[in-house]
Structure 1
Amino acid sequence: MIDRDLTPGERAALAAQVERLREEHRDLDAAIEALRDAGQVDQLQLQRLKKRKLLLRDKLSLLEDQLTPDIIA
């Protein structure tokens, strides 16, 4: 968590990084689906792609949390 407000430049850089990671996440989804559709599934490769996809999801969550201001209720 960031203890200070983000500058507009920092916010734009984080938003760009989030979008890049979302695109990579979608690409991994497509690669996983293509691998499954190919018939002969390399389980090790499939497992690696899924693990990478989960790591991207975690990173995305952290960055999205930084972009969302904390609201004290």
Structure 2
Amino acid sequence: MIEGSSADLRSPQRQLIEWQMAHADLDALIDQACLAPLPLDELLLRRLKKRRLALRDHISKLRQLMEPKEPA
């Protein structure tokens, strides 16, 4: 096993990528559901959209934490 690899599994960069992938998956799922001939359950659709919004918020906060601090 490579030294430090367990720390890399939970690095902010990796977490950001995982959240971005989950957000993209939800985007695709919501788009497909809206275009489907039989509409998806409205409650389920709202839950998916809420989850997508929460992921977007997490992504935004993590990006802010990862940005280097500018000197005052």
TM (normalized to structure 2)?
0.78
Q: CA deviation at 1:68?
A: 0.3
Does residue 18 (structure 1) correspond to residue 16 (structure 2)? The answer is: yes
Looking at structure 2, the residues matched to 32 and 72 of structure 1 have their Cα atoms a distance apart, in angstroms, of: 42
Alpha-carbon RMSD: 1.8
Looking at structure 2, the residues matched to 41 and 67 of structure 1 have their Cα atoms a distance apart, in angstroms, of: 37
* Pairing 1:1-73 to 2, within 5 Å after superposition: 13-39=11-37, 40-73=39-72
Q: CA deviation at 1:72?
A: 3.0
Looking at structure 2, the residues matched to 32 and 58 of structure 1 have their Cα atoms a distance apart, in angstroms, of: 18
Q: Which amino acid is 2:16 matched to?
A: V
Residue identity over aligned pairs, in percent, reads 38
Looking at structure 2, the residues matched to 56 and 68 of structure 1 have their Cα atoms a distance apart, in angstroms, of: 18
TM (normalized to structure 1)?
0.77
Q: CA deviation at 1:21?
A: 0.2
User: Which of structure 1's runs of 4+ aligned residues deviate more than 2 A?
Assistant: none
Q: Which amino acid is 1:34 matched to?
A: Q
